[in-house]
Amino acid sequence: MRLRGLTIGMLLVLIAGCDRAREGFGAGVEPAPRPPLLVEGPSEESKALAAYYARVEAGHRTRGLLRSDGGGPDVPFDDRRLADTFMSIALAREFSDVGQTLVRQESTSILRRWEQPVLIEAMFGSSVDPAMAAQDRTAIRRFADRLRRTTGHPIRFVERGGNFRVLILSEEERRVSGPTLRRLVPNIRDREIDLIQTLDRASYCLVVAADPGDDGVIRKAAAVIRSELPPLLRQSCIHEELAQGLGLANDSPTARPSIFNDDDEFGRLTTMDERMLAILYDPALRPGMTASEARPVVDRLARAQLGSNF
């Protein structure tokens, strides 16, 4: 999660609990009702935030940040870097529970990913401009297709009945989003709700992914993206939040070329990020693996990805 200055804030909170109930997803499932999201038209506060984020994006572009090239010859990587980066992103958490709060403190994690099909649904606050909502819906649908091709896992965009919701909300709508989030992610805790509803302006988006059985299987997720973001920052949020919601939970200062880095150099999923997603969903790995269990498999998969030896 990027919390310094004018940067993008992103987080994967993996919620563990005692509820092991599962839902079936597929044809014939009754779609979940759309909860009401408040506010008609942008407020003055929302307009001011939009102007602020436009300046942030302009500054990023001036400094050559938010790259969309996927990584070029200036940022080569080999199988060792791919494996090391995967371990730091997929088997670590950036935030930990300390008492009743979430604090920025990295800790080890088990491997987590989806086993059932991922159905991505876009939901918009009533203040969101319809033209912008249409553009975002198209971007999310296209990125869902890319994630399906990259992972080999069934991932698709749906109009209703999703299990991975992407909420694009204004400042006012996000502050009162608790009831909606509890409906969409039943295992969400008060500490996650508080974090989302009190997000400061240095944090642009986040995702909550639920592992209710604490067995490494993600069963629900909800990403929250600020509607005030201009196009490049909003696209960056779509890319990172959806990828993190699939199980690449952490950020690392050593991840390069990667969107999972606090330096904002890349604003789109990179080639290395795609290879990490392919590794995450390879059948040789399984949800719940520890770092020591996963490491030799990851090393082998990284060699296979790049056709080289350590």
User: What's the pLDDT tens digit per position in 154-170?
Assistant: 999 999 999 999 999 99
Total number of domains in the chain: 1
Task: State the DSSP code for 262.
Answer: T
Question: Is residue 97 situated within a structural domain?
Answer: yes
Question: Is residue 116 situated within a structural domain?
Answer: yes
Question: Is residue 33 situated within a structural domain?
Answer: no
Question: Is residue 155 situated within a structural domain?
Answer: yes
The 10s digit of each residue's pLDDT in 180-202 is: 999 999 889 998 999 999 999 98
Spell out the long-range contacts of 130-139 with Cβ–Cβ below 8 A and sequence spacing 24 or more.
Answer: 132/227, 133/168, 135/231, 136/168, 136/234, 136/238, 139/235, 139/238
Please provide residue 224's backbone torsions phi and psi, each rounded to the nearest 5 degrees: -120, 125
Q: Which of 29-38, 64-73, 189-198, 210-219 has the lowest mean pLDDT?
A: 29-38
Which residues, 6+ apart, have CB-to-CB distance to 124 below 8 Å? 37, 133, 136, 167, 168, 169, 227
Instruction: Tell me the pLDDT of the chain averaged across its residues.
Output: 85
Question: Is residue 3 situated within a structural domain?
Answer: no
Range of the domain at 50: 12-19+40-306
* CA neighbor of 247 nearest in space, from 294, 201, 202: 294
**Pairing relationship of beta strands 205-211 and 12-16 according to DSSP bridges:** parallel
d(CA 252, CA 272): 14
The 10s digit of each residue's pLDDT in 12-44 is: 555 433 332 223 222 223 334 444 454 466 889
Question: Is residue 211 situated within a structural domain?
Answer: yes
d(CA 168, CA 174): 9
> Virtual CA dihedral for 296, 292, 96, 104, nearest 10 degrees?
-50
d(CA 255, CA 270): 11
